[in-house]
Structure 1
């Protein structure tokens, strides 16, 4: 018999991603980073406490940046690619050292390709139908995108029907100061884009932003316990 009727299939999340997410439930999105700067930003994020870093594939030479970050940070960090739109790209991400496929959509072919190659996958979902199909295909994390449009009420409604062990991760418009209501509604973590990193900024600025998000998450969680 199934142990959780809110799961369409046995849920066995990628062990490395689960451990990294438990350590820090924030995913850094380095859209636009270049290979020359990638390692410095990766180290800055890791030293601030981040353990999950993605380089969107619409960045300059993304596979080179993924490889540079993978070499720069310890093994307990998960490095991967975002904006993965085609299943054929999954093997290229893996060849660069990536362990995570992040998508703005929930194309089953991309999810299945990620799992076939042993990579973690966080598909973008905006409806319950997309969410449950993604889980059926092996998704490890549900990327609720765009969070600005979905809002806290949608997170709350989804949390009522999606098994509690499945992480809900809003992405889009998240700042160090607005995480509390999402957490209260049932979110587990967040993907962070331009509020964390903009192309051309220094690694010191990335470090400062990263620390602000770490502190914001700590404050938001503390507020939930009051």
Structure 2
């Protein structure tokens, strides 16, 4: 599945970031996330076996969730991600070559930006979804200000420091979606615990609507 497929199914635009996950545990964690209502799952490439974990997630929940890779900072990592079955690429920065290669491989792209210059560079390279990272440094007021100058079709996702306590604030500022890492999953967390936190996150998102 791709990001749009997940959104069209009615799932919340929440990306679970499984930084540091081990391949042997990732399928169970993926199942817990999907059951809780989170159907966008990212394995960063600075995890122990990212391609193996992505492939395991694709096999376990790929028919019900979009599986992507994060910290994709080189074109060869984009190729490795696509080879493992990933359908979206997330990066902490804007690299036009990485964006272009990911699009060539048929993946959705979510490049990370902080400044207007970076945002427009990413859009110029073909992105529509942009990841404001780190989202908590400049806060929700910054999101509101930067959205005023971006094309209306741009979808800004906030990553870093966003969780149940401040989802409503960020949504009011105009974020389209969020990415959640350490407050949802840390290395060593089991599937049951991740599922509990995921349900709370989905509930907070639903409560913030309107």
Alpha-carbon offset, residue 143 of structure 1: 0.2
User: Partner of 1:139 in structure 2?
Assistant: 127
The alignment status of 1:19 with 2:5, answered yes or no, reads yes
User: Partner of 2:207 in structure 1?
Assistant: 219
Alpha-carbon offset, residue 74 of structure 1: 4.2
Q: Which of the numbers 131, 135, 145 marks the counterpart of 1:157? A: 145
1: CA distance, partners of 2:165 / 2:42: 22
> TM (normalized to structure 1)?
0.89
> Where does structure 1 lack aligned partners over 5 or more consecutive residues?
1-14
User: Partner of 2:47 in structure 1?
Assistant: 59
Alpha-carbon offset, residue 150 of structure 1: 2.2
CA contact (8 A) 1:16 1:76 kept: no
Alpha-carbon offset, residue 85 of structure 1: 1.1
SS of residue matched to 2:148: helix
User: Partner of 1:115 in structure 2?
Assistant: 103
CA contact (8 A) 2:2 2:88 kept: no
Q: Which moved more, 1:131-140 or 1:18-27?
A: 18-27
> Where does structure 2 lack aligned partners over 5 or more consecutive residues?
none
The alignment status of 1:129 with 2:153, answered yes or no, reads no
CA contact (8 A) 1:126 1:144 kept: yes
2: CA distance, partners of 1:18 / 1:133: 23
For residues 129-169 of structure 1, the C-alpha deviation after alignment (integer angstroms, 9 at most, x for no partner) is 11111111111310000011121111101221223332110
User: Partner of 1:68 in structure 2?
Assistant: 56
What is the aligned residue count? Answer: 208
User: Partner of 2:73 in structure 1?
Assistant: 85
SS of residue matched to 1:161: coil
Which of the two has higher C-alpha Rg?
1
CA contact (8 A) 2:54 2:86 kept: yes
SS of residue matched to 2:157: strand
For residues 24-66 of structure 1, the C-alpha deviation after alignment (integer angstroms, 9 at most, x for no partner) is 2100000000000010011111111111100000001111000
CA contact (8 A) 1:105 1:124 kept: yes
The alignment status of 1:188 with 2:180, answered yes or no, reads no
> TM (normalized to structure 2)?
0.95
- Once superposed, what is the RMSD of the aligned Cα atoms? 1.3
Alpha-carbon offset, residue 76 of structure 1: 3.9
